[in-house]
Amino acid sequence: MTDIPNISKRHCDSCGVPLPDGELFYHCRTEIIAGKDETIPDLKHPDKLIAQAMSEISGKDEVELLAEIYQETILQLCPTCRLTFVKLLQSMLSRGCGSCAKCGPPPTKKAGKLLQFPSKK
């Protein structure tokens, strides 16, 4: 886990506005964890598979390799930046990031990606 910032001098990690004691702010923790499907690669030539894996990781340091597997980001956000952050996440879920050619067509809309508590009516 990353270090939690000193809360005696709290600022919004996005816009830098001070977050005074007793005022509303949002603590946001995101994790990016590598995933892989359960398919087994062609094992007719396991030595080639091992050699390919070794060539992919050669020249990379431990920190770089671990960052490809797990990343955690902790943010303290003011109410305005929280809304901006939520809108950004929702737009990525509904139409892709829109900023890279690798994304291709927008993803299929999936329900339940953002945890939201129901409002009382």
Domain of residue 52 covers 7-34+41-96
Q: Is the full-model pTM beyond 0.85?
A: no
Question: Is residue 109 situated within a structural domain?
Answer: no
> Cα 52 from chain centroid?
27
pLDDT tens by residue, 12-59 = 999 999 999 889 999 999 999 988 777 776 678 888 888 888 888 888
> Does any domain span residue 108?
no
Instruction: Name residue, tokens 């892709």.
Output: 96
Q: pLDDT-based confidence at 89, cuts 50/70/90?
A: confident
Q: Which two tokens stand for residue 62?
A: 């431990």
Q: Specify if 27 maps to a domain.
A: yes
Which residues are within 8 A (CB) of 52 and not within 5 positions of it... i.e. 6 or more apart? Answer: none
Q: What would the DSSP string read from start to end of the chain?
A: -PPPP-GGG-B-TTT--B--TTS--EEEEEEEE----SPPPP-S-HHHHHHHHHHHHTT--HHHHHHTTEEEEEEEE-HHHHHHHHHHHHHHHHH--SS-GGG-SPPPP-TTSS--PPPP-
Q: Is residue 110 part of a domain?
A: no
For residue 92, is it within any domain? yes
pLDDT at 2 over 80: no
